[in-house]
């Protein structure tokens, strides 16, 4: 059994997007790097889970490294980093509103003074009402800072203020309001990147979702088709078994009916008048017709079940054609149709299943008789060739041509399908179950040959079978014939 299709995921339109969804992180890091080099202020960007999307430092490495070298400085730095990265973006825990020059502050922007005297600006990243992360500017050296706070100088008695002063000068000194303006500019650029990234992400995800949905539909359809195909195969097997059983069981009593009818017609059970004899002969004739139909159904059911095997042996092609024509000639004479057999001067022997090929020829000749009106003519021609173009090997071809009703060109392929009738109406002139040509095609192709048809409506038909003189292999399995859709049958 096939695996069930994967459950459908929530649509991207129903999910809360993250910064990593909307940003090309490597490209964004390059944008941040260029911004830092231009304004010489470090920038860090974190998403709402604390994942670092960008971290570009400038100027503060030596100073912060010196402070971090003291145990108390290390613990203070660690605590401060946690506050800036994960703490509330609000004027609490030492943070306050920024100092600006009569300009409205971006919503949520706070200033966070470090215990070293340096300063950070923190801005929440808001998108469609959700907080997706934060932007951190800094550290920078406020322009109003004139000395180090005691929170820094008291971290160790070995703290060298003069050394720290030299190192801190590498950090950009700027008014808080100026840094806030730079941060506002960056925030606008960031919003533009987010907007473009969201559109691109949604477009790509919607395309992926549409593709996945299509694939799921196809998987479901394939599973349904697979189930239907399995069911049809089982039904076809049951049909073939049923036909084979019924056909086999009908042949025995029908053979008895034909035999007793023949004895009655011959007077072996006592004398009968002419009218009674005619009735009995009609019973015998219809019984033989029914027996042929049952035999054809049995053959086609065995072919469909893959149980038919061809046993190859050497045979005389001339005798095969002449004996096949002889078996059909009484039927042709009764209808007033002439059968002519044309043989070449040079006759060769061939290898094949003689009885199956006899059935092929009898079916084609009987068909020709059935569809040829009184006074018509049927010609059966035999020819040999060292190389048949269709087979690319030595072989022979038999052409059976009649002057009958003909076949429309659009029916050429269909007439070889099981149970197919060119005229499928209940009032059709010619009887039959539409199995003869399906059997012909299966047996000919089982020999490695081909069967062809050409016809002109109202003028007649021409069937050509091309067979190899020496088929490959001593035994061949017969492939089932093509089946017609239910609406085309009968």
pLDDT per residue as tens digits for the range 195-222:
888 888 888 888 888 888 888 889 999 9
Q: Could you give the number of structural domains in the chain?
A: 2
Distance of alpha carbon 252 from alpha carbon 184, whole angstroms: 101
259 in a structural domain: no
Is residue 261 situated within a structural domain? no
Please state the pTM of the whole predicted model: 0.48
Give the domain-ending residue among 214, 249, 279: 214
Q: With the C-alpha atoms ordered 476, 482, 486, 490, is the resulting torsion angle positive or negative?
A: negative
183 and 320 inside one domain? no
Nearest alpha carbon to residue 448 among 296, 307, 306, 312: 312
Q: What is the predicted pLDDT for the residue at 483?
A: 46
Residue 255 domain-assigned (yes or no): no
Q: Could you give the CA distance from residue 98 to residue 121 in angstroms, rounded to a whole number?
A: 8
* Distance from C-alpha of 317 to C-alpha of 347, rounded to nearest angstrom: 8
DSSP strands (E only) in 164-295: 173-174
pLDDT of res. 46: 92
pLDDT at 484: 44
Kindly state whether residues 202 and 339 are assigned to the same domain.
no
Specify the CATH number for the domain of residue 436. 3.30.565.10
Handedness of CA 61, 66, 70, 76 (dihedral sign): negative
Q: Give yes or no: residues 35 and 158 share one domain.
A: yes
Cα(484)–Cα(474) distance, rounded to whole angstroms?
A: 31
Q: How many CA atoms lie within 13 A of 332 on its CB side?
A: 25
Query: Domain containing 316: what range?
Result: 310-488
Q: How far is the CA of 286 from the CAs of 246, 263, 282, 359, in angstroms?
A: 19, 16, 6, 20
Q: What is the DSSP letter of 145?
A: -
Distance CA 150, CA 146 (A): 13
Q: How many residues does the chain have?
A: 490
Residue 466 in contact with residue 392, Cβ under 8 Å?
no
Burial class (CB in 10 A: 0-12, 13-18, 19+), 377: middle
- Residue ranges, the chain, pLDDT below 50: 1-2, 5, 424-431, 474-477, 479-490
Distance CA(44)–CA(28), nearest Å, equals 12
Same domain for 333 and 186:
no
Residues 315 and 191 in one domain: no
What is d(CA 455, CA 402) in angstroms, rounded to the nearest whole number? Answer: 10
The whole-angstrom separation of Cα 472 and Cα 59 is: 87
Ranges of H-type helices in 305-342: 317-335
- Residue 448 within a domain: yes
165, 188, 214 - which closes a domain:
214
Examine the domain organization and report whether 190 and 338 are in the same domain.
no
Give the side-chain half-sphere CA count within 13 A for 358.
14
Measured at the alpha carbon of residue 91, what is the angle toward residues 88 and 92, in degrees to the nearest 5?
65
What residues contact 11, with CB distance under 8 A and at least 6 apart? 209
Whether 24 maps to a domain, the answer reads yes
Residue 149 included in any domain: yes
Q: What pLDDT, on the 0 to 100 scale, is given for residue 306?
A: 63
Are 209 and 315 in a shared domain? Answer: no
137 found inside a domain: yes
Going from the C-alpha of 155 to that of each of 40, 70, 222, 463, the distances in angstroms are: 28, 7, 73, 109
Do 36 and 147 fall within a single domain? yes
- In sequence order, what are the residues at sequence separation of 6 or more whose Cβ sits closer than 8 angstroms to the Cβ of residue 454? 461, 462, 464
CA-to-CA separations, 224 to 216, 229, 487, in angstroms, rounded: 12, 8, 21
Q: How far is CA 101 from CA 68, 93, 144, 339, in A?
A: 34, 24, 15, 116
**In this structure, what token pair is assigned to residue 314?**
């050497």
pLDDT at 300: 67
**Do both 477 and 347 map to the same domain?**
yes
Residue 98 lies in a domain: yes
Q: Give residues with Cβ within 8 angstroms of 8, minimum separation 6.
A: 212, 213, 216
How is residue 157 written in tokens? 């008695």
Q: Scan for tokens 């078996």, then name that residue.
A: 327
pLDDT digits (tens, 9 = 90+) for 428-481: 444 455 677 888 888 888 888 889 899 888 889 999 999 998 887 544 445 444
Distance, CA of 282 to CA of 88 (rounded, Å): 106
Q: Which of 102, 93, 170, 171 is nearest to 137 (CA)?
A: 171
Judgement on whether residues 173 and 317 belong to the same structural domain of the protein: no
How far apart are alpha carbons 403 and 252 in whole angstroms? 37
Q: Among 214, 249, 275, identify where a domain stops.
A: 214
């Amino acid at each position: 059994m096939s695996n069930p299709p994967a459950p459908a995921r929530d649509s991207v339109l129903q999910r809360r997007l993250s910064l990593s969804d909307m940003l090309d992180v490597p490209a964004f890091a390059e944008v941040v790097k260029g911004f830092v080099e231009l304004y010489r202020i470090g920038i860090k960007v974190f998403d709402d889970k604390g994942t670092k999307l960008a971290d570009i430092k400038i100027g503060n490495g030596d100073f912060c490294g010196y402070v971090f070298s003291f145990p108390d400085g290390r613990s203070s730095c660690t605590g401060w980093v946690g506050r800036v990265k994960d703490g509330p973006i609000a004027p609490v825990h030492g943070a306050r509103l920024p100092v600006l020059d009569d300009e409205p502050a971006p919503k949520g922007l706070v200033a966070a003074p470090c215990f070293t005297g340096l300063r950070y600006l923190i801005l929440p990243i808001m998108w469609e009402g959700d907080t997706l992360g934060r932007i951190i500017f800094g550290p920078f050296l406020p322009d109003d800072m004139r000395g180090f706070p005691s929170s820094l100088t008291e971290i160790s008695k070995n703290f060298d203020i003069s050394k720290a002063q030299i190192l801190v000068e590498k950090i950009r000194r700027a008014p808080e309001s100026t840094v806030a303006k730079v941060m506002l500019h960056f925030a606008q650029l960031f919003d533009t990147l987010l907007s473009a990234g969201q559109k691109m992400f949604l477009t790509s995800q919607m395309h992926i979702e549409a593709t996945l949905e299509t694939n799921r539909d196809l998987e479901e359809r394939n599973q349904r088709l697979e189930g239907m195909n399995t069911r049809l195969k089982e039904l076809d097997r049951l049909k073939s078994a049923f036909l084979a059983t019924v056909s086999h069981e009908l042949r025995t009593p029908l053979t008895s009916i034909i035999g007793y009818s023949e004895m009655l017609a011959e007077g072996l059970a006592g004398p009968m008048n002419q009218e009674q004899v005619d009735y009995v002969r009609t019973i015998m004739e219809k019984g033989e017709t029914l027996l042929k139909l049952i035999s054809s159904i049995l053959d086609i059911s065995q072919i469909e079940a893959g149980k038919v095997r061809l046993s190859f042996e050497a045979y005389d092609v001339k005798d095969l054609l002449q004996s096949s024509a002889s078996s059909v000639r009484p039927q042709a004479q009764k209808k007033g149709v002439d059968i002519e057999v044309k043989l070449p001067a040079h006759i060769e022997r061939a290898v094949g299943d003689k009885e199956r090929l006899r059935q092929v020829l009898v079916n084609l000749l009987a068909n020709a008789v059935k569809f040829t009106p009184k006074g018509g003519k049927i010609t059966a021609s035999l020819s040999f060739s060292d190389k048949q173009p269709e087979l690319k090997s030595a072989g022979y071809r038999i052409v059976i041509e009649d002057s009958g009703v003909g076949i429309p060109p659009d029916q050429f392929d269909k007439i070889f399908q099981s149970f197919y009738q060119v005229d499928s109406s209940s009032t059709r002139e010619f009887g039959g179950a539409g199995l003869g040509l399906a059997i012909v095609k299966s047996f000919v192709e089982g020999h490695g040959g081909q069967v062809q048809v050409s016809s002109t409506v109202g003028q007649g038909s021409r069937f050509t079978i091309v067979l190899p003189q020496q088929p490959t292999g001593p035994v061949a399995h017969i492939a089932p014939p093509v089946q017609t859709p239910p609406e085309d049958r009968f």
